[in-house]
Chain A
């Protein structure tokens, strides 16, 4: 009898699960909600996947003030205090909650061609590095990954769309997400999201990776929306590195520059250190992202040392190797910095820049800088 009950329960559960999957891909289903309103039965994902400096995030999923529709929206407060030392943070909407690809869940969303959502900032000017769909990796990986951004929010509700036409949406456990960084929002930010849903839009067409127009910045100025890569790839003795993306110590252009301190103390025993600027943050080639920078013919940046004589073994672009490797790489070095700002250039002619996730990188070591170095970078861009 017990056995029969178990079989029955399993059958009922399996039936419910199958029904959910089938519902999503039914021909007559024109939309599929991620979040509609607090406690709505149409919410299919949970905002459970807090990432990076998760201690910097506060969420109120029943914000009553000025929702886009219904009675609530979701309010996020990001303090940018780097509670976990990451410099970035984000939230994934997952199914089931807290599923980082370790268990079967998600939905078959085949037939959907876009994800649309509404967002606004508390003040306007808040920068979200990117909004994402899918991309969760694990034993049960999402079948697609798409993203949109960076986005500078306004203080009024605005609809944003992520094109999913032509994507394999047969298994999506990470229905939606956002990521932003302390560099982009040094003082933190408060923003609201509402009415997140997949839908069928016959006008959406598959898009290839867009060739980016030049100049294309890695770093322009603190909080600039044109900063396209994140200084997230700390290498070697990462404990020897201090990074400040909003230094006001004599920037070359604009209000700020980047200040890097490398102490050469060998915190991890590697005797070298370096940073990759990546897209998205921490992408060591595991995510199909990055940019098509084929229009670039050179890469330039400005650099200076605190004293002059600081030796950087290599500056380079590209070169990240993984499942989705950079399509090429180019570099210069060793470079001995001067006390005054100097512009450096990397020739990109003949390079395949169709897929670049490692926008920029520096590396040096303790052998050539036994006492460590302090140096500054500014106006880092593809031209």
Chain B
């Protein structure tokens, strides 16, 4: 979505149940590494390296712990490109610091996390943004990396040189930002798994080319890609045991393979656009790839392509419904599966460049031409050719041209901003905080049996100020 692709993947939750490397083998191991390192380091430093961990509760549910406290990811995708600018705009360098305005509004809404798709080249600029957001507004960052998915002529995950190049870039990112207090977790890839079909950002190897069976070709690509991601996860854990590593994935496509080849990632970051419901996603995950999940992209646009008008009610309706499902599947909720850690809405502000990325003249126009179709956003599915998804209208916050010379486009919260804010204040039929104790055996290390309150003591950082 972020890259202006047209992949909806609606309704392609996929895969059959297969044998998996169970949670008992993989997930606790990763969690154990994190907690063990905390144990080792907490006596050596006043600032422990481990601040973020994922643990299994006694009932088998998964929970994200930040400084030992349950943390529900309440996030937004963040790419504040101003009106009239394109995808390559260096907003990090914007002297008007849009993230200060946005951060304040986010905090007032209840947002605690942003997702950055990939950091800019200048680490100092990125760190400045992260520090401002964290220190001023207690907003953490899910830091992503495309894993070379948009490299020309293609993301050749079977090529060692390409892998080395991507790996170096990823590990350099981890080394650079791992000690930033605002880092929540690393997110590897986005919808890269859609390339397994050979039809989106196609890539291959000699071995794949020799295979006549397209099903086997797909499985070969999945094995190569997920094995590579797993290598990255292992390397990241060595460098930074303090933050989990997520596998970014479009829908559930390919995850039956990831279960076999990607055991060392700590969680799944799922990109999903299914309208008012996520369907059987959480249950399906249990059966195919039993990892905790953060929905790292979901949401709804606010433009009714059928009636040709903005419809903030429509967007708010979908987002509230989606958040309700997320909360139903958090740890300890009776009605859910307990494997969801939260979600990241797409996106904070509208992006006026997206419909015509190569036509700067159109970037000052808020384009109403829908680009793709998704029947699960059914209010305007009767639009011409069933095209109902408006890429430039996904913002929780609308932009209006800066007519007062402030240097920043005016931010106008849409109805969804208020509806989600109120939902977060009083999640209906849900308890906000999980009360069940962490399954102590999860750690499998010197921390076995360590009470949560002691973990909290190791992390007297900003969370303690709240």
Q: Which residues of A contact B (CB under 8 A)?
A: 284-286, 311, 318-323, 325-336, 346-347, 349-352, 367-368
Contacts A284-B375, A321-B275, A327-B280 known; 15 new A-B pairs at CB < 8 A: A285-B376, A321-B10, A321-B375, A322-B378, A323-B276, A327-B279, A330-B13, A331-B14, A332-B215, A333-B214, A333-B215, A334-B214, A349-B16, A351-B284, A352-B283
Q: How far is the CB of B154 from chain A (nearest CB, A)?
A: 17
- Cβ distance A286 to chain B, nearest Cβ, rounded Å: 7
For the complex of A and B, 7 pairs with smallest distance between CB atoms: A321-B376, A319-B11, A350-B287, A334-B214, A352-B280, A347-B16, A328-B280
CB closest chain-B residue, reference A333: B215
- Count how many pairs of residues, one from A and one from B, have CB atoms less than 8 Å apart in the complex: 82
A347 touching B17, Cβ below 8 Å? yes
Shortest CB-to-CB span from A362 to chain B, Å, is 14
Question: Are A336 and B13 within 8 A (Cβ)?
Answer: no
| Chain B contacts for A285, CB-based, 8 A | 375-376, 378
B residues less than 8 Å from A284 (CB atoms)? 375, 381
Q: Mark B243-287, 1 if CB is under 8 A from A, else 0.
A: 000000000000000000000000000000011110110011011
Report the Cα distance A328→B285, complex, angstroms.
12
List the interface of chain B (C-beta within 8 A of A): 10-17, 199, 212-215, 218, 274-277, 279-280, 283-284, 286-288, 374-376, 378, 381
Residues in B whose Cβ lies below 8 Å from that of A326: 11, 279
Q: Contacts A284-B381, A321-B376, A352-B279; is A329 near B12 (CB within 8 Å)?
A: yes
State the CA gap A325–B277 with chains docked (Å).
8
Question: Which of B212, B215, B376 is the one whose CB lies under 8 Å from A325?
Answer: B376
A350 pairs with B17, CB closer than 8 A: yes
Name A323's closest neighbour in chain B (CB-CB).
Answer: B378
Kindly state the separation between the CA atoms of A287 and B10 in the bound complex, as whole angstroms. 18
From known contacts A334-B215, A350-B284, infer whether A321 and B16 are also in contact, taking CB-CB under 8 Å.
Answer: no
Tell whether, in the assembled complex, residue B287 and residue A329 are in contact, meaning their CB atoms are under 8 Å apart. no
A351, B280: Cβ atoms under 8 Å?
Answer: yes
Across the interface, name the chain A residue whose C-beta is closest to B283.
A352
Bound complex: CA A311 to CA B280 (Å): 29
Is B13 a contact partner of A328 (Cβ separation < 8 A)? yes
Q: B378 to chain A: which residues have CB within 8 Å?
A: 285-286, 322-323
Given A320-B375, A321-B374, A323-B378, CB of A330 within 8 Å of CB of B274: no
From B275, B279, B288, residue with most partner A Cβ within 10 Å: B279
The answer to whether A311 and B214 touch across the interface, beta carbons within 8 angstroms, is yes
* Whole-angstrom CA separation of A359 from B376 in the bound complex: 17
A-B contact pairs, 19 of them (CB 8 A): A285-B375, A321-B275, A321-B374, A322-B275, A323-B276, A325-B279, A326-B11, A328-B280, A329-B13, A329-B14, A331-B14, A333-B214, A333-B215, A335-B215, A336-B213, A350-B283, A350-B286, A350-B288, A352-B279
Q: Say yes or no: A330 contacts B14, CB within 8 Å.
A: yes
CB nearest to B288 among chain A residues: A350
